[in-house]
Structure 1
Amino acid sequence: MATAIGAVERQARERRIFTGMAALVAVTVIGGFGSFALRGYVDVATVPWWVHVHALSLLAWTLLFLAQALLVAQRRTDLHRQLGWVGAGLACFLIPWGIATSILAVQMGRVPPFFPPGIFLVLGPLDMLAFGALTLAAILLRQRSDWHKRLILCGTIAMMEPAFGRILPMPLLGPWAGACATLMQLLYVGIAMRADAGLRGAVHPAYRWGLAVIAGRLLLVELLGRTAIVAGAAAALAAG
């Protein structure tokens, strides 16, 4: 009996942890982009329409991610599963659109001044691919809820670099700007890992995979983005 009560309490605590992480992600994304706009750094009238679509799709994912966590907390797993396929469809849109948005930004000279064009050219696509890989794994493992929810969380964190880029003082960080944003992503995964260890007595391997993918994305950005080939491709796009 005591064991059964302990299992129920652990499940309740786990639901609270994932709801809290989903809320933290939502506050970071919405707060980051919202505060950036409120500080006057966004001229909405001059922002291309495809950037608005990209931003709205990211917001939709963030809100859906939070809603899914709340549904599980309320034990509405039936609706959670139905909305899961909406999320899968949204992910299929997010990935190519996000990649195209990065390429168009380089082509139109909309690269932030603290990013070398080559770094920026690979940053967005690799963000989307990291998100896609972790989300696809989560979908394939949807019958194993312990893996599914942790991989979805890591996948969402994997594409939060733009949000942290609007919170951190990026121009002051110089060549370390991108790395600092990635470190914040790793910190969020670390928070979830710490909670996992406290709850389960060990960190679930899904978090190790998420951590490896996000860290590996940073390494690839630095290795590829500074090559002559990628820098030349970025220059060619900007020229024309």
Structure 2
Amino acid sequence: MAFLMSGVIVTGFTLQVALGRSTFAVPWPYHVHGAIFMGWIALYLAQHVSIASGQRALHARIGRIAYAYVPIMVAAGVLIMVTVARRTGAPFFFAANEFVVSNLALLLCFGALAWWALKARRYSGWHRRLMLVAMAVLTGPGLGRLLPLPLLIPNAWVITICTTFFFPLVGMAADIRATGRVHPAYLWGVGVYAAVFAASMALAYTPLGYAFTEWMIAGTAGAQRPMEAFLPPGFAM
């Protein structure tokens, strides 16, 4: 599952570059964000390979890096979210308020779940499942680059995030097949993720959510686009 989730993320970004829809000619926050998040994928896979091969000491040493890396991930995520919001308002197939409010909430959800997983490292059942749910949160950008999001307006954001639940649901199914029940780490992890997503969407459509979004993009190029998702003039798939 670790390789599958990582592969989805890498494939999504690589495909957009191959199709000419993405470019490296972007401001520096994009490059910083990309390097940090790809570094996290390498760290995540290294942890799985080390423990699967029985190298527990190496696994523990590498794991210490994550304590510093998770806050860096959150900071880099906030940086790129603010940069994109002010530069374009948000990808056109997402409502700006959804992208700003829900995106920020889910980024913090990732950080909280990953930190929880680290604190539970002595309980391997909890540790690995909570980290899987945290990683599933990060698959959204990769999945979004594989889905035909312009065709999913006005529900592109909701569909993208709901798709990320596929990974922990597979984990739950594996638990049932192996032990006849779902491990409580999945119930808590997925429950927290779902609750944060639902709450963030509700908040995004309140006056506070709109006001926060408008405040973030005020006076920037991002403020020139509509708040709701839209198709740019002349757009073609």
TM-score bracket for this pair, using the shorter chain length: 0.7 to 0.9
- Residue 141 of structure 1 deviates from its aligned partner by 0.9
Helix, strand or coil for the counterpart of 1:175?
coil
For structure 2, the 5+ residue unaligned runs are 220-237
String of CA shifts for 1:143-167, please: whole Å, max 9, x gaps. 1111111111111111221111111
- Residue 110 of structure 1 deviates from its aligned partner by 4.7
1:44 to 9, 21, 24: 24
Could you tell me which amino acid in structure 1 is paired with residue 14 of structure 2? G
Whole-angstrom distance in 1 between the partners of 2:69 and 2:141: 19
Contact 1:114/1:171, CA 8 A, preserved across alignment: yes
1:175 to 154, 157, 165: 154
Contact 2:101/2:213, CA 8 A, preserved across alignment: no
Helix, strand or coil for the counterpart of 1:44?
coil
Large movers: runs of 4+ above 4 Å: none
Whole-angstrom distance in 2 between the partners of 1:141 and 1:32: 31
Whole-angstrom distance in 2 between the partners of 1:142 and 1:32: 30
Correspondence 1:140 to 2:156: no
- Residue 184 of structure 1 deviates from its aligned partner by 1.3
Q: Which residue of 2 aligns with 1:218?
A: 197
Q: Which has the higher contact order (CA 8 A, sep 6+)?
A: 2
Correspondence 1:29 to 2:15: no
Correspondence 1:237 to 2:216: yes
Contact 2:36/2:76, CA 8 A, preserved across alignment: no
List aligned pairs for 1:28-107, cutoff 5 A: 28-45=8-25, 47-107=26-86
Give the aligned CA root-mean-square deviation in angstroms: 1.4
Correspondence 1:162 to 2:141: yes
Whole-angstrom distance in 1 between the partners of 2:84 and 2:145: 17
Judging by fraction of residues, say which structure has more helix. 1
Contact 1:157/1:185, CA 8 A, preserved across alignment: yes
Identity among equivalent pairs (%): 31
Contact 1:99/1:124, CA 8 A, preserved across alignment: no
Helix, strand or coil for the counterpart of 1:112?
coil
Whole-angstrom distance in 1 between the partners of 2:83 and 2:142: 19
Helix, strand or coil for the counterpart of 2:154?
helix
Could you tell me which amino acid in structure 2 is paired with residue 77 of structure 1? R
Whole-angstrom distance in 2 between the partners of 1:202 and 1:65: 26
TM-score by length of 2: 0.88
